[in-house]
Amino acid sequence: MAAHPLFETLKNLKGNARGSVYTEPLWGIPFNLYAPYVSVYMVALGLNDAQIGLIVSIGLAFQIFTALFSGVITDKLGRRKTTFIFDTISWSGAVFIWAISQNFYYFLAAAVVNSMWRITMNSWQCLLVEDTDPGMLVDIYAWIYISGLLAAFFAPIAGVLIGIFSLVPTMRGLYLLAFVLMTVKFYLTNRYTTETRQGLARIEETRHQPALAVLIEYKGILRQLLNTPATLYTLGIMLISGITSTINGTFWAIYVTQKLKIPDQFISIYPFVRSMLMLVFFFAVLPRIRTLPFKKPMLVGILSFIASQVVLILVPEKSIGFLLISTVLEACGMAVLNPQIDKLLVLSVDAKERARINSILYMVVIIVTTPFGWIAGALSELNRAYPFMLNIGLFAIGAVLVFFAARSAEARAKVEAVEGAASVS
């Protein structure tokens, strides 16, 4: 009997993909354990919705600068070294501050430190994909998501601990656990990866260039990007995903506990269900759709997201079961959409300038996303359902962008086919 395609991919991983994917659970598990409770932890320590939204927006503002310089730093230091240094600062440093937080200013400091993850996001993506077979990308990104979903097996423990020790002491413990596991992950990734071929080339090319000179060259990269419709449509979809993720990640738990009156210790049920469904989806459905053009899977994912937000807004107070329907729909949407966006980004970007193009894309995403922490906080102050109504509108725009992206991809494929036939003749 043939092995499952995902397990075949996992077994056959080599080099940097192997070193990155195999260690990812050490980051994904602790992150997904504390993530559902971040906003209610802040509320428990005295912060209000507007302050939480302000912290999100300030953190995003700092991410503009870290994203801008991420390409320069990644090219000059190399993918591997940049990843190790800034992973340790942005994640190990931030979770330690969160573990000892007392008030608004601690959370603000942690947000500033954590903003450096935009640097390592760029370098880590390059480290992961540059020497990797493009045909394996969907499966590789599926395993990245699966590694985080493994936290689902431990999520109920977090709820039990909150019931025993209360929210704040449990969160402090989860953050300290994250500090240890994430630091070990960063060491192991650095130990079992090597610099990519493109990374070595960029280190040599920028060795004698001041960082500012490398940054000035972004002007030409920006022109290249503006003349590449496929990348621009991908950017639009990334924007929708970034904004809605920010809104859901910040205000979902507040909405559920404050508006729907669901007790804090029950929150972990929903990440558990979401994670279990996504795991099933990755293994049962993803192998059947991974070779399909991205249009249909992405539209299905977006429609599922829209339905999840509609149901969330309509959930009656204390209706644990009704809320599960929204969670199921969200899980299906995430499982379909996220790997497709990652693959689309890799395939639509010029490989030779991946680090700098990625830095521009991430910077634009952050600039546009930044006000939405504050906007969603202000909307939540008016009515806790309003941020999720905003999500519905954004997802609808995302569906339109998918149509344009698909049309652009089809046109590009026709041009490449004509050029290929001409070169053969």
Ordered DSSP codes for 137-164? HHHHHHHHHHHHHGGGGTHHHHHHHHHH
Measure the CA–CA gap between 79 and 76, rounded to whole angstroms.
9
CB 125 within 8 A of CB 98: no
**206-225 pLDDT, tens digit each:** 888 887 777 777 777 778 77
The pLDDT of residue 23 is 93
Asked if the model's pLDDT at residue 291 lies above 80, the reply is no
Measure the CA–CA gap between 274 and 37, rounded to whole angstroms.
15
Identify the residue with better confidence: 252 or 352: 252
In this structure, which amino acid lies at residue 141? Y
**13-53 pLDDT, tens digit each:** 888 999 999 999 899 889 988 887 888 899 999 998 889 88
Asked if the model's pLDDT at residue 113 lies above 60, the reply is yes
| Tokens found for residue 330 | 């969200």
CATH topology classification for 5-419: Growth Hormone; Chain: A; (1.20.1250)
| Tokens found for residue 226 | 């503006």
Lowest mean pLDDT among 98-102, 166-170, 278-282, 378-382: 278-282
Radius of gyration from C-alpha coordinates of the chain: 21
CB atoms within 10 A of CB 164: 10
3-state class percentages of the chain: helix first, strand second, coil last, to nearest 5: 85, 0, 15
Distances (CA, A) of 418 to 107, 347, 405, 425: 55, 20, 20, 11
CB 177 within 8 A of CB 280: no
CB atoms within 10 A of CB 182: 24
Backbone phi, then psi, for 13, in 5-degree steps?
-60, 140
Measure the CA–CA gap between 93 and 367, rounded to whole angstroms.
24
How is the chain split into domains, by residue range?
5-419
- Band the pLDDT of 411: cuts 50, 70, 90: low
The pLDDT of residue 354 is 76
Q: Of 144, 155, 160, which is closest to residue 276 (Cα–Cα)? A: 155
Asked if the model's pLDDT at residue 425 lies above 80, the reply is no
Report the Cα 114 to chain-centroid distance in Å.
14
Measure the CA–CA gap between 112 and 318, rounded to whole angstroms.
36
As a whole number of Å, the end-to-end CA separation of the chain is: 44
Question: How crowded is the C-beta side of 233, counted as CA atoms within 13 Å?
Answer: 19
The pLDDT of residue 8 is 86
Report the Cα 64 to chain-centroid distance in Å.
16
CB 246 within 8 A of CB 371: no
